[in-house]
Structure 1
Amino acid sequence: MAQVTVEQLAETVGASVDRLLTQMKEAGLPHSDAEQDVSEEDKQTLLAYLKRSHGESTDAPKRITLKRKTLSTLRSSGSSGKKTVAVEVRKKRTYVKRDPEELKALAEEEASTGVDTEELVEEVTAEPAVVEETVAEVTAEPEPEPEPEPEPEPEETEEDLKNLDPEVLRQRAAARRKKKEAEEVAAREAALAARKAEQERKDAEAAAAKAKEKTQDAAAKRPKRLHDAPSPTREADRRKPARGRLGRNAPAGRGKQRGHNLSLSDLDSAESGVGRRRGGRKRMKATHEEHSKHGFEMPTATITYEVELGDAISVGELAQAMSVKSGEVIKELMKLGVMATINQMIDQDTATLVVEEIGHKVKVVSEEVLEDALEETLAQHEGTAEPRAPVVTVMGHVDHGKTSLLDYIRKSHVASGEAGGITQHIGAYHVETDAGMISFLDTPGHAAFTAMRARGAKSTDLVILVVAADDGVMPQTEEAVQHARAAEVPLIVAVNKIDKEGADPDRVKNELAAKDVIPEDWGGDTQFISVSAHTGEGIPELLDAVLLQAELLELQAPRDIPAQGIVIESRLDKGRGSVASLLVQSGTLRQGDIVLAGLEYGRVRAMLDENGQPIKEAGPSIPVEILGLNGTPDAGDQFAAMESERKARELAEYRQEKSRDSKIQRQQAAKLDNMFESMAAGERKVLNIVVKADVRGSLEAIQSALLDLGNDEVKVNIVSGGVGGIAETDVTLSMTSNAVIFGFNVRADNAAKRLVEAEGVDLRYYNVIYDLIDDVKQALSGMLAPELREEIVGIAEVRDVFRSPKFGQIAGCMVVEGTVYRSKPIRVLRDNVVIYEGELESLRRFKDDANEVRNGTECGIGVKNYTDVKVGDLIEVYEVKEISRSL
C-alpha cells in the first residue's frame, strides 16, 4: 500500500492535523509536519498506541454479544373485567472484530471495484456487525379468583352523615379523590408501557432487516478505515431508544442506530465531541457521558502563584492575585490581629505574611514604574549647560519691608495692591539690572505661611533676609534663618528701614550673631547690607552682593531640553480656568507644550509673564503663568514638559490614584489610633469650616493654621477646602455638615448668595489671613466651657446659740469679714474644717429681716436643715463666678 501524507491521513480519519501530529508524537513517531509521509509501519505503530491508550488488550475477544431482558406487568380494566398482562422484552447485540487477513482480502476485493486502496479504509463486514433481537412476549394470565367480598357495612343514613364530624367528611372526600387519581395514573402508565414495548419491537425488527444493506451502502460511500474496539459509551447510546426521532417518524436505524462496527474515527469522534454524518462529513455531537460530565476538574497538584506586591494593596486585589476568595484573606488577617474589609488597603509587610501563610510566593515590585520611566526620560535630556540668572527668595518677618524693597527694585507698587500691605502668597518677578537678570520670589512673613517660606527656600539659589533696623530679630526672622540653613543656600541680610528714627543696625547684627549668623566684618561668611526701601539707599550694593554671590555659585542650566521646574502658585480664574505660576529651572517652556504638574496635566494654551504680557517661550530662571491645566496643582509640585499627552495623562492618573490610596490609609490609621482616645476623652466640641481661597498657597496656609488651633475640648474640622469662588455646592455642603463658610479673597456667585440668604448660612469674607485666624480663635473660645471660680464674700463667727419656736436653733453671730448675704450658699466650719454646706434660712438684724449684714455687725442666722451649730463655729458665705476661657 502506498504512502500518504499526515494531512491526507488526518482528512481520512476525520481528525485535525494538529491532533494527529500530537498523537503521532505520543506514539513515538518522528513526524512534525503535515507534508511528511506516513508509511504502513507508522500507521500500525499509531494504531497500536491508540489501542493501548483506549485500554484494548491484544487478547481481546473477537466477538461480543450483549443481552438484555426486561419484564413488566400491565393491568388493565375493560368491559370484560380486569386483566393482567406480563410483557417480556429481550435484546441481543453482537460485536465482531475481524482479523487483519480478512481486512486485507476485503481491501483487495474493494480495490478491484475501483476504490483507492492506498488510503486507510474502514472495516466492512459481510454480515451484520450488530444483530439486535427484540422479542416481546405477551402472556395473558387468567383472572385471579376474586377474594370473598367483606360483608357490606350498613349504609349510613342522611341523619348519620349530618351527625358526623366535618373533619371526618373532609378526610373521606380526600381519600376518594386520591384513589381516583391513582387509578387514572396507573391506567396511563400501562398504556404508555404497552406502546413503548410495541415500538421497541418494531425498531429491533427493522434494524435487523436493514443492517446488511446499510453496511454495504456505508462501504460504497466511504473509504475503509482502521477499526478499533467498540466504545461502551457509544454502545450505551445506541441501545437507547431515539424518542425524538420516533416522534417525527424518522426511519429506524439512522444516526447512532446504524449497524456498522466501531473504528478509530469513532473513538476520535467520541473523544473530540464530533459525530459522523452521512457522506463522511462531521457534526458536533456530544455523547451522553460528555453531556453529563462537569466542565471543571479539580487540580491534582497544588498551584503556587508568584504574587507581586507593591507598597500597598487592597484585600480584594490580593485575593484575586492568589486565586482565592476574599474571605480566606480576611480570615488570615484576623489571625494576625488585623481587622480589614475587602476594599481596605494593607501594607506590604502584612500582605507578605498573608501570602506566605496561604502558601504562595512573594515578589516585591516597585510601584514607581511610571515615575522611574519619567526620571529616565528626563535624565536622557542632558543638553548644553549655559549660565543662568540667580533665583533669589526674599524672606523675613511681617512688615519688615520685603515687598517694599522689591517694589523699589522693580519700580512698581506691588505692596499697595496687597491687603493691609501684607503679602498673602508667593510672588515671582524677574528684573534686568546693569550686571544681569535676577529672578525674585517674595514670600509672606506671617506665621501661618511657614510652609510657603520653606518651599521658597528650597526652590531658590540665594536668600535675602530682610530685618527692620528699628524692630530687630523676630520669630519669623529666626524661622527664615532655619529654612535657609535646611535648604543649604547662602544668606544675605538686608537691614531695612535705616532711614527711620531709632534704627540700630548694630542691634540686628548682635541678635543675628547670637543665632550663628555672623557678619563678614566680624569674621563670618554672611553679608550684611544696610538698605532703605523708601529712599533706595543701599539697593545697588544689595544687587551687587546678590550677583557676586551668584557668580561664586557658577549657576548653569541647559536651554535646549524640555522644560522642568517648580510650581510657585496656582489659582482658579473664573474666565480663564486653572492658572499656574511656574518657575522654569532648566530647559525651555514653549506655548503648546504638554505639561505634567503634580497631579494635573494639560497643554499650555497661553503663557504670560509676571506683568500679564503674553510670551511664546521661557528659559531657565524665568517665572511664568500658564493656562490649560485640567486642575490646580499644589504649590511646590514639580512640573515637566512631556512628549505626549497620553503619557502625561497616565502619570497624572497614577499619581491621583496613589494619593487617594494613601489618603484612605491615613484616615483608617487615624480612626484606629484615635478610637480609644476619643472614647476616653468623651464628647469634643467641633467647629466645622468650609474654606475657599484664591490660590493654593493661601489655602494651604489657612488650613495648616486652623488645624493648629484648639485643645482637648474644642477643635477645628475642615470639611472642604478648595480654590476658586464660592459655589452653590459649597453652600449645600455647609448646610449638610453645619459648617461656617470662609472666603479668602473670593466671593460667592449669585446662586450661592441666594441660597445663603434663604437658609441663613454663616458666610464670612476675609482678605487678611490673621483676621480669619483671630475670628476662628474667638469662636473656639466661645465654645469652651467657662471656668467656675468660688469667691468668699463674708464670714460670720457664732457667739451664742438661741432657740426659736419658729426657726429652731438660731446662731447669734458677729460678721468678722466681708458681708453676709441671705441669697448666697454657705459653709459651716468647725476648727477650720467644713462640716456642712447649705444655705441660710433666715438672716435678721435685731427683730427685722435683713438681706445683708456688713462687717462688724451682729446678726442672727438660721441655717436651713442644720441644728448642730455650736459657739465658735464659722459661717462662710461664698458665691460662684463663671470666668470665660480663651485659647
Structure 2
Amino acid sequence: MADVTVAQFADVLKVSVDKLLAQLDEAGIKVKGSDDTISEDAKLELLTHLRRSHGQQDTTGDDGAPRRITLKRKSQSELRLAGAQGRSRTVNVEVRQKRTYIKRGVLEEQAQKEQDALDAERQAELDRIEEARLALEREKAEREALVKKEEESKRQKEEAKREAEDAAREKAAKEAAAAAEEKTRLEKAEQDARERRAKEKDRKKAKPGETRYGRKELHVAGDKSGRRKRKAPSRRRPVNVAGDGQHGFERPTAPVIREVALPESIAVSELAQRMAVKGNEVVKVLFNMGAMVTINQVIDQDTATLVVEEFGHTVKLVSGAEMDEDLLANEKPTGDELPRAPVVTVMGHVDHGKTSLLDYIRRAKVVDDEAGGITQHIGAYNVSTDKGNITFLDTPGHAAFTAMRARGAQATDIVILVVAADDGVKPQTVEAIKHARAADVPIVVAINKIDREAADIERVKNELSQHEVISEDWGGDNMFVPVSAHTGEGIDQLLDALLLQAEVMDLKAVAEGPAQGIVIESSLEKGRGAVATLLVQAGTLKQGDMIIAGEEYGRVRNMFDGTQKSVSSAGPSTPVAVLGLSKTPSSGDEFLVVKNERKAREVAEFRQSKTRETKLAQQQAAKLEDVFSQMTEAELGEVPLIIKSDVHGSTEALRDALTKLSNDEVKVKVISSGVGGITESDATLAAASKAVIIGFNVRADGAARTAIKESGVDVRYYSIIYEAIDDVKAALSGLLSPEIRENIVGLAEVKEVFTSPKLGNVAGCIVSEGYVKRALPIRVLRDNVVIYEGELESLRRFKDNVNEVRAGTECGIGVKNYNDVKPGDQIECFERVEVARFIE
C-alpha cells in the first residue's frame, strides 16, 4: 500500500480521524493533521505499538510477541421449539465464547516469583531463629565468664589471705626461734660466769701470794674486785709492770670514740666489729629501735648511722663510687691529651627524619633495619668526612625511650636536634631539649624536610625560640642548618657546623694507656654470646684487654666497628661492638680496662655484693604498715608479665613504660625481664606465675615452644613498642571496676498524705519531671535535702497498680519502711548505670 493520508488511513481502518491521531501520538509518530501522509514504516510502527498495548501494560515478551492473547468467537444456530396446538416455532441461538491464552514463560515466571518469595520468607525466619540462638549462647557465655571471673577473684583473695597468714606465722616462728636462741646464749653466759666465780673462789683458798697452780699472784692496781661497770666501749690500756715484777691493770680513763666508715649497706656483724662491741649489743639496740634483725642480716646506711650514734661514735659515710675509686686506683689512663673526634647525638621527635639524615651521611641503609621506620635501639656509628671524623649516636624518638635518649645525651659532646620543617616542635622535641640542657651540651638544630611544599623554616625558629633555643640569625647561640635527608641539600653545611662547634669546644682526650668509656647498648646473640656496644672516651681499647663493665667483666675476644668489620684497636670517640663479656652489662654503665682477670673479678664481685646488699636492705626495711599495704595490693588487679628483648636498652625502656601504666586499682607486675630469646625456663616461670610473655624482637626456641604449647602460656611478639603498650593498657582497662553513675529519671511532688489500712501512709503525688518507675530506687527530699533513700512499696493510679507513671500524671506512692512523708516533700526516682573505664 502506497503512502496515504491520515484521513484515508482512518477510512480504511474504520476508525475516526481523532482516535487515529491519538494512537499515532501515543506511538510516537508525529503528524500535524488529517491531511499529512503516513509511510509504510509509520504504519508498521503503529501496528507494533497497538500489539504491545493490547491488554495490560506488560503483556509482551522481550521478542515483541504478546504474553497474553484473548480470542472471542460467536456462533449462531436455530432451535425449534414445540408450541401450543401442535405448532412449532424457531428460535435463533447465538453462542459467544471468550478464551485467554497466556504464554508458558509468563506462568513459569509467576511461579518462580512466588517460590522466591516463599524462600525469602523461610530464610528470614531461619535467620531470626539463628540470631536468637546466638544471642542465647552469648548471654550464656557472658554469664559463665562472669561466674568464672568471680570465682577466680575469690580464689586469688583466699590465696593472698593464706599467704599473709603463712608469712605471719613464719615471722612469729622466726621471732620465737631468735628469742629461744637469745635465751640459750644468756643461760650459757650465766653458766660461764658461775664457773669463773667458782674458779676465783678456789684461787683465793690457795696459799697467800701463790695461785692454785703455784705461780706468783698478780696484783691488780686500783679496784681489786676486777669487775667493770657496763659503759660505752673503751680501749684497755697496756698492762703495767710494777718495779717489784708484779703486773698491774688500770681502768681506761675515758671511753674511746672511733670514726666508723659506713657504706651504703652493711652487715650487723661487720658493724659490731668496726665499733669493737659484741654483736648481741648491736642487735639489742636495733630491737629497741624497732628493727627485728639478726646478727647476719644487712641494714641500710641510715639505720647503721643511728646505731653508731647510739654507741657514741662518729660516722663517716662512704659511697660505692668512692670504694670503686679505691679498688680501681691507678687503673685509669694517664698521659698527654690529644684532640679527638666529637661525639654527636641525633635527637628529636619520632618520624622527623633522624635516621634518614644519618643514613644519607653514612651512605648506608640504617633505616631499613628498624620496625616501622622507628629507631628502637641506640646505634653508634663513626663517619669519616673530608674535614675530620665524627661519631654519631642515633637515639629513638618515641616517648617510651626517654631513658635511652637521656643516656645518649650523657655520652655526647654535641646534640643535633632534628625538627621537621613541615611539622614543627613536638612533645619529644621538647624532651630532647631538656635532656641536652641537663647534660650541658650545645645544640645544633637541623631543620629537615625543607624539600616539602608545607615546609616553613621561620615557623620552626619561632616555635624553638619559645623553648629558649634561638638561632644565631636572631641573636642567639644555636646554629640552625636547613637540610633535606631526601635530596642531600644542606648536609655539608651541617657537617661543617658540627666540626666548627667541636673546634670551639677544643675536645681532647688521653689516647694512650688503658681504655675507659661507656656502654651504649648490649644484647645476647646466639653463637656470639654477650655483645656490648662500647664508646671509648679515653685511652685505647685493644683486642685481648681485660675489661670491667658495671657488674660484668671479661676479656675482649673480638671487636667490630659500625660496618661489622673486625678491628684490633679503638681510640677515643670510637664506638665498637665487643665480644667476650660474662653477661650483658646495663646500658649507661662505665667500662674500664684493668691489669688482670683477678682485679676484674674482685671489682665485679664487690659491685655485685653491694647490689645484693642494697636490695636486701630495702626488702628488710619493710615495717608492719608495709605488710598491710602489701596485703592491700594483693587485692588489686594485676597483669603479670615476663619481658624478653633483643637488647638491654629496649628491655629497660619497655619495663619502665609498662610499669608506668599502673594506678591505684590495677598494676603491671614485671616478674622477670632479660635479654635474649625466650627459653624453656621463661615458659615454666610464666606457667607457674600465670604471666604473659612479651617477646620484643625475639622468639622462643624449640624447647620453649614445646613448653608453651603444653602449658598454654600466652606469648605476645612485638617489634614496635607502642603496640605492646596499647595491648597491656587494654588488659589493664579490662580489670578496672566499672564506674557507677546515678541518673535522675523522674521527680514527683507530694500534694497530700493518705492513710491506708493495708499500706500505711500513701503519698498523693503528681509527677512533675520524667517518670516514676516501681523497680527503681527513690529518695525522699525535704527542702532539697535528702532525708531518706530506699525503694517503692506501691505505685498506683486510682485503684490500679501500675509499673510506671509519666510526667503530668497523678499517682499514689507508698515508700517502703518509711512513714514520715509530708506534703511538700519531693520523691526523686533514679537509676544506677555502670560505665566502663579505661586506662588513659
User: Smaller-chain TM-score range?
Assistant: 0.5 to 0.7
In 1, are the aligned partners of 2:546 and 2:554 still within 8 Å (CA)?
A: yes
TM-score, with length taken from structure 1: 0.62
Matched, 1:429 2:381: yes
SS in 1 for 2:829: strand
Q: 1:358 to 1:482 in 2, by over 3 A?
A: closer
Please state whether the residue corresponding to 1:710 is helix, strand or coil: coil
* Residues in 2 aligned to 1:683 and 1:755: alpha-carbon distance in whole angstroms: 30
What is the aligned counterpart of 1:473 among 425, 429, 433?
425
Which residue is 2:618 aligned to?
666
Q: Deviations over 1:262-299 (max 9, x none)?
A: xx9xxxxxxxxxxxxxxxxxxxxxxxxxxxxxxxxxx9
**Secondary structure of residue in 2 paired with 1:376:** coil
Assess, with a 3 A threshold, how the Cα gap between structure 1 residues 363 and 874 changes in structure 2: closer, same or farther: closer
> 1:409 aligns to what?
361
C-alpha contact 1:305 1:322 (8 A) present in aligned 2: no
Aligned to 1:582: 534
Residue 329 of structure 2 aligns to a residue in which SS?
Answer: helix
The whole-number CA distance in structure 2 between the counterparts of 1:304 and 1:503 is: 76
1:311-710 mapped onto 2 (5 Å cutoff): 311=263, 312-320=265-273, 325-336=278-289, 338-347=291-300, 351=304, 354=307, 371-373=324-326, 375-379=328-332, 381-669=333-621, 674=626, 683-710=635-662
- Following the alignment from structure 1 to structure 2, what is the Cα–Cα distance between the partners of residues 615 and 729? 36
Q: 2:744 aligns with which of 789, 792, 808?
A: 792
Amino acid at match of 1:329: V
SS in 2 for 1:399: coil
Alignment deviations for residues 417-436 of structure 1 (CA, whole Å, 9 cap, x no partner): 21121111211112222222
- CA distance in 2 between counterparts of 1:847 and 1:544 reads 96
- Provide the C-alpha distance between the structure 2 equivalents of 1:317 and 1:574, rounded to a whole number of angstroms: 43
Residues in 2 aligned to 1:569 and 1:542: alpha-carbon distance in whole angstroms: 27
C-alpha separation between the residues in 1 aligned to 2:320 and 2:761?
87
| Contact 2:796/2:811 (8 A) holds in 1 | yes
Name the stretch that deviates more: 481-490 or 731-740: 731-740
CA displacement at 1:852 relative to structure 2:
2.5
Q: What's the CA shift string for 1:94-139, capped at 9, x where partnerless?
A: xxxxxxxxxxxxxxxxxxxxxxxxxxxxxxxxxxxxxxxxxxxxxx
* Structure 2 unmatched runs, 5+: 1-205, 216-248
| Pairs aligned (count) | 598
Please name the residue that 1:724 is paired with. 676
Which amino acid in structure 2 is aligned with residue 346 of structure 1? Answer: I
Q: Which moved more, 1:449-458 or 1:359-368?
A: 359-368
CA separation of 1:438/1:501 partners in 2, compared to 1, >3 Å: closer, same or farther? same
Deviating more after overlay: 628-637 vs 660-669: 660-669
Does the Cα contact within 8 Å between 2:646 and 2:697 map onto a contact in 1?
yes
Q: Which of residues 236, 261, 266 in structure 2 aligns to 1:309?
A: 261
Please give the residue correspondences for 1:54-453 in structure 2 after superposition, counting only pairs within 5 Å. Answer: 309-311=261-263, 312-320=265-273, 325-336=278-289, 338-347=291-300, 351=304, 354=307, 371-373=324-326, 375-379=328-332, 381-453=333-405
Query: Which one of the candidate residues 762, 767, 774 is aligned to 2:714?
Result: 762
Question: What corresponds to 2:772 in structure 1?
Answer: 820
User: Do the aligned residues in 1 keep the contact of 2:331 with 2:595 (CA within 8 Å)?
Assistant: no
Residues 872 and 526 of structure 1, relative CA distance in 2, 3 Å threshold: same
Q: Which position in structure 1 is the counterpart of 2:104?
A: none
Q: Give, in whole Å, the separation in 1 of the partners of 2:388 and 2:309.
A: 64
Cα deviation per residue 1:496-551 (whole Å; 9 max; x = unaligned)? 12222322211111111121111001111111111122222211211111122122
CA RMSD of aligned residues (A): 3.4
Distance 1:452 1:372 in 2: 26
Amino acid across the alignment from 1:464:
I
| TM-score between both structures, scaled by the size of structure 2 | 0.65
Shift of residue 718, structure 1, vs aligned partner? 2.1
Change (3 A) 1:369 1:393: closer
Determine which of 708, 730, 733 is the counterpart of 1:781: 733
8 Å Cα contact 2:761/2:814 also seen in 1: yes
The structure whose Rg is larger is 1
Q: Alpha carbons of 1:306 and 1:620: their partners in 2 closer, same or farther (altered >3 Å)?
A: same
Partner of 1:753: 705
**Matched-pair contact (CA < 8 Å) for 2:512–2:540:** yes
Sort the Cα spacing of 1:321 and 1:873 in 2 relative to 1 into closer, same or farther, 3 A.
closer
- The answer to whether the 8 Å contact 2:639/2:669 transfers is yes
Is contact 2:260–2:275 with CA below 8 Å preserved after alignment? no
Alpha-carbon distance, 1:792 to partner? 0.7
Supply the AA of the counterpart residue of 1:482: K
Q: Secondary structure at the match of 1:819?
A: strand
Describe the SS at the equivalent of 1:403.
helix
Instruction: Name the aligned partner's letter for residue 643 of structure 1.
Output: K
Q: Measure, in 1, the Cα distance between the counterparts of 2:490 and 2:317.
A: 60
How many angstroms apart in 1 are the aligned matches of 2:795 and 2:305?
A: 81
Unpaired segments of 5 or more residues in structure 1? 1-53, 58-228, 235-263, 265-298
Measured in 2, the distance between the counterparts of 1:360 and 1:56 equals: 44
Deviation of the 1:328 alpha carbon? 2.0
Give the secondary structure class of the aligned counterpart of 1:782: helix
Q: Matched residues in 1 for 2:475 and 2:584: separation?
A: 47
Match of 1:733 among 680, 685, 690: 685
Question: How far apart in 1 are the matches of 2:668 and 2:706?
Answer: 27
Q: By how many angstroms is 1:439 displaced? A: 1.2
**In 2: Cα distance, 1:327 partner to 1:683 partner:** 39
Higher mean C-alpha displacement, 603-612 vs 649-658: 603-612
Structure 1 residues 836 and 555: CA distance shift in structure 2, 3 A:
closer
Q: Distance in 2 between matches of 1:542 and 1:347?
A: 51
In 2: Cα distance, 1:317 partner to 1:335 partner: 19
Q: CA deviation at 1:715?
A: 2.7
Which one-letter code corresponds to 1:789 in the other structure?
A: R
- Range with greater deviation from structure 2 (863-872 or 747-756): 863-872
Taking structure 1 as reference, are residues 342 and 774 closer, same or farther at Cα in structure 2, changes over 3 Å only?
farther
SS at match of 2:566: coil
CA contact (8 A) 2:283 2:295 kept: yes
Cα 1:644–1:852 change in 2 (3 A) is: same
Indicate the SS of the match to 2:330. helix
Q: Does the aligned pair in 2 maintain the 1:310–1:367 contact within 8 Å?
A: no
Change (3 A) 1:440 1:304: same
- Give the letter aligned to residue 434 of structure 1: D
Please give the alpha-carbon distance, in whole angstroms, between the structure 2 residues aligned to 1:232 and 1:520. Answer: 98
Q: Once the 2 structures are TM-superposed, how far is the Cα of residue 635 of structure 1 from its aligned partner? A: 0.6
Taking structure 1 as reference, are residues 489 and 368 closer, same or farther at Cα in structure 2, changes over 3 Å only?
A: closer
